[in-house]
Amino acid sequence: MTKSNKKENFEKALKRLKEAVIKYNTNKSDDIVRDGLIQRFEFTYELSWKAAKEKLEEIGISEIYSPRAVFKEVFSKI
């Protein structure tokens, strides 16, 4: 997976997560839609920290391996 693909894949996953939120909000009693929303959230979360980790590595910050450490480092740079 190339660097641009990680970011692009995250953006696509985020778009699909937003679609799932809209679908869930129209029918909150549908367990299948809820389960799909949860799965899309998990997938999007996974892609988000991996893309952020890659960006940190591009600017010379390595040795960070957990999602929590990645987000902590990213937010300290804002």
Q: For the chain, which residues make up each domain, given as ranges?
A: 3-76
Query: String of b and e for 22-38 (b: at least 16 CB within 10 Å)?
Result: eebeeeeeeeebeebbe
CA distance 67 to 44: 13
**DSSP H or E segment with residue 51:** helix 31-58
pLDDT along the chain (78 residues), means of 10: 76 96 95 96 96 92 93 89
Predicted structure pTM score: 0.84
- Amino acid letter, residue 3: K
Q: CB neighbours (10 Å) of residue 8?
A: 14
